[in-house]
Chain A
């Protein structure tokens, strides 16, 4: 198997949940023999774990209030329809 093309392509399909059973076997068999691809696959999975731990950012204080203040006034038509 061509590591750079086929094997890496299969790894990404795996990560997207698109891998068929035969492809899964193909990838597993290849990984057993190919250290470079094992490392690549490990790095990809680790990358995803790392992305999940990116810093969480909160909205500034009073964000919701500021938005609410900027909304256009309720239309008359709407008030009647309530």
Chain B
């Protein structure tokens, strides 16, 4: 897949806008999900995820082909989510429920998989609970836990994405795992 994306990016750089459609389509769920978990809100996640793809397109010439496109894209998306979190007013959460989301709470956007009785439901509830507990971590731990375990980046790649030293990534992943261990031990 990396090779296909590489070829598509070459085409985009040559000015072929339609090649970018395949890139967006390939990464849309990953990037949207990343934004959603960072922001905890469907309306903002859509907004920021779109912005990330647009910025990547506009700045495509500054992307170094020797690097992994996904790392670069996640970097843009993560920076945008962090900016958005910083700009939030303290009363943001109350507002978000009332306006701006058209009455959608964060769960109404979760992928609705086939809901079957019995164990299946239990497992969906568990998956949702885990999502919720990850979302409850402070952003600096949450981003790293997500990038490592849900998006499968190496610690070095996470250091590149977040532009922080590898040692800091390790300290934060340790703390993030400990925090989640305490939250999930009774599951």
Interface string of B151-175 (1 = CB under 8 A from A): 0000100000000000000100110
Q: Are A59 and B155 in contact (CB under 8 A)?
A: no
Docked Cα-Cα span, A79 to B186, in Å, equals 60
Interface string of A7-37 (1 = CB under 8 A from B): 0110010011010000000000000000000
* Residues of A contacting B42 in the complex (Cβ-Cβ under 8 angstroms): 60
Question: Interface size for chain B: under 10, 10 to 19, 20 to 34, or 35 or more residues?
Answer: 35 or more
Using known A-B contacts A51-B130, A68-B21, A71-B20, determine if residue A60 contacts B14 with beta carbons closer than 8 Å.
no
Q: Are B181 and A47 in contact (CB under 8 A)?
A: yes
Interface string of B61-101 (1 = CB under 8 A from A): 00000000000000000000000000000000000000000
Using known A-B contacts A12-B177, A16-B173, A67-B53, determine if residue A55 contacts B24 with beta carbons closer than 8 Å.
no
Known: A50-B180, A53-B130, A67-B28. 7 other contacts (CB 8 A): A16-B173, A43-B184, A55-B111, A58-B33, A68-B17, A78-B14, A81-B14
Enumerate chain B interface residues (CB-CB to A < 8 A).
14-17, 20-21, 24-25, 28-29, 31-33, 36-37, 42, 46, 49-50, 53-54, 57-58, 109-111, 123-124, 126-128, 130-131, 134, 145, 149-150, 155, 170, 173-174, 177-178, 180-181, 184-185, 187
